[in-house]
Structure 1
Amino acid sequence: MEWTVIGDVIEWRGPAPYYFLPMDPEDSAEVKIEAAGLEYWGQVAVIAAIDGSTFTTALFPKDGRYLLPLRASVREDHDIESGSALTVTLRLNRDR
């Protein structure tokens, strides 16, 4: 199964800034059902694609939805910053 996530990148400032693309609650609920048994510490391993570039990461649960973390290298390669409109395709990483 595959999901297309469309939204604006958000920034969370902790010890270092982190950037995420939030999934909508409906898709998040669907991911949770499909990922049953694959979760670890509430996170779900995924393979993400942006403009033909793929990377692996894990979705973080937050307030009834999942957040897709965006690595610095991915952000630099695609000129992504806080507030950027973004479209990402996700699928579960069952090989993990």
Structure 2
Amino acid sequence: MKKDPVLYMCAGIIVITLLINIFAYSYLPSQVGVHTSGGQIDDYVSKFSFIFLLPGLQAIGSILAYFSKKRTKNIALILLNVICLGLDVFLIFYNT
């Protein structure tokens, strides 16, 4: 099996996202806002669910992109994971 550095980089970003969430767990409120409408938070998840929400989405999206046959899948993999990491950090700062 050929080693794919993009796959390892994406796995590392997913692990970093999970570690950031675990570290931020004690600072998060019991209900974490994940969606806003007009500047007001209108959708919440429990903080335990929040820890696994974005890393789970990253993993699913990465698996789907990895097995796609498009030539640009490496760029899509990296962008997906970097954007999810940025969104995760934003949500943590927004809720603390």
**What TM-score do you get using the length of structure 1 for normalisation?**
0.33
Larger radius of gyration: 2
Instruction: State the structure with bigger RCO (CA 8 A, min sep 6), 1 or 2.
Output: 1
**What TM-score do you get using the length of structure 2 for normalisation?**
0.33
Choose between structure 1 and 2: higher helix proportion: 2
